[in-house]
Amino acid sequence: MISIQNPCPVCSNKRFAELIDFGEVPQSGILLFSPSEHFPMIRLAFEYCLACAFIRQRPWDQSSWDYRKVNRPTRGQMPVYVNEVIDFFNQSQSKDSDLVLEIGGNDGAFMDQLAIAGLKCRLIIEPSLSLAEVARKKGHPVENVYFNLIEAERLRKRYGPAKVVFCRHVLEHVPDPEDFFRALRLMTAVEGMVFLETPDVYGITQRLLGHELWDEHLSFYSLDHLSRLTKRFGFDIYWKAVRPHRGGFNILLWARPGELREAASINTAEKDLALCRSFKERWLKFSLKIRQDACHWKRPVACLGASHPQSNFVVFSGLGDRIDFLVDDDPEKLNSFVPLPNLTPVLSTEQLLDGHPLGTLLLTAFGCQDWIDKVQKPLVRRGVRLIDPYLFLA
Ligand SMILES: [Zn+2]
Share of the chain above pLDDT 90, in %: 78
- Rounded Cα distance between 168 and 186, Å, is 18
For 141-179, the pLDDT digits (tens) are 999 999 999 999 999 999 999 999 999 999 999 999 999
CA of 55 to the centre of ligand 1 (A): 8
- Predicted local distance difference test score (pLDDT) of residue 110: 92
Residue 147, helix vs strand vs coil: coil
- Predicted local distance difference test score (pLDDT) of residue 374: 95
CA of 136 to the centre of ligand 1 (A): 39
**One-character DSSP codes across 3-18:** -TTSPPTTT----EEE
- Predicted local distance difference test score (pLDDT) of residue 1: 36
Higher per-residue confidence, 94 vs 372 = 372
CA of 259 to the centre of ligand 1 (A): 21
Amino acid of residue 215: D
Which of the four pLDDT bands, split at 50, 70 and 90, describes residue 264? low
Omega cis (within 30) before 341: yes
CA of 53 to the centre of ligand 1 (A): 6
8 Å CB contact between 81 and 243: yes
CA of 15 to the centre of ligand 1 (A): 8
- Predicted local distance difference test score (pLDDT) of residue 66: 82
Q: Decide: residue 35, CB within 10 A, 0-12 exposed, 13-18 middle, 19+ buried.
A: exposed
CA of 335 to the centre of ligand 1 (A): 45
CA of 54 to the centre of ligand 1 (A): 5
Higher per-residue confidence, 3 vs 184 = 184
CA of 6 to the centre of ligand 1 (A): 11
CA of 13 to the centre of ligand 1 (A): 5
CA of 132 to the centre of ligand 1 (A): 35
CA of 18 to the centre of ligand 1 (A): 14
Eight-class DSSP state of 221 = B
CA of 206 to the centre of ligand 1 (A): 18
CA of 234 to the centre of ligand 1 (A): 18
CA of 379 to the centre of ligand 1 (A): 48
Per-residue pLDDT, averaged over 297-302, amounts to 98
8 Å CB contact between 149 and 186: yes
Alpha-carbon torsion (197, 198, 202, 204), positive or negative:
positive
- Rounded Cα distance between 3 and 247, Å, is 31
- Predicted local distance difference test score (pLDDT) of residue 328: 96
CA of 170 to the centre of ligand 1 (A): 20
Higher per-residue confidence, 65 vs 282 = 282
Q: Find all residues with CB under 8 Å of 246, minimum gap 6, and list them.
A: 77, 366, 367, 368
pLDDT of residue 206 exceeding 90:
yes
- Rounded Cα distance between 90 and 228, Å, is 26
CA of 296 to the centre of ligand 1 (A): 43
- Predicted local distance difference test score (pLDDT) of residue 3: 41
- Rounded Cα distance between 101 and 152, Å, is 11
CA of 207 to the centre of ligand 1 (A): 21
Which of the four pLDDT bands, split at 50, 70 and 90, describes residue 60? low
CA of 282 to the centre of ligand 1 (A): 23
pLDDT of residue 272 exceeding 50:
yes
- Predicted local distance difference test score (pLDDT) of residue 2: 40
> Which domains does the chain carry?
69-256 (3.40.50.150), 295-393 (3.40.50.720)
CA of 214 to the centre of ligand 1 (A): 20
Which of the four pLDDT bands, split at 50, 70 and 90, describes residue 388? very high
Q: Where are the beta strands (DSSP E) in 200-284?
A: 219-220, 235-245, 248-257
CA of 225 to the centre of ligand 1 (A): 8
CA of 268 to the centre of ligand 1 (A): 9
pLDDT of residue 352 exceeding 60:
yes
- Rounded Cα distance between 354 and 351, Å, is 5
Higher per-residue confidence, 295 vs 61 = 295
Which of the four pLDDT bands, split at 50, 70 and 90, describes residue 67? confident
- Predicted local distance difference test score (pLDDT) of residue 5: 62
Letter string b/e over residues 183-196, b meaning 16 or more CB atoms within 10 A of that residue's CB: bbbebbbeebbbbb
CA of 51 to the centre of ligand 1 (A): 5
CA of 19 to the centre of ligand 1 (A): 14
CA of 219 to the centre of ligand 1 (A): 12
- Predicted local distance difference test score (pLDDT) of residue 302: 98
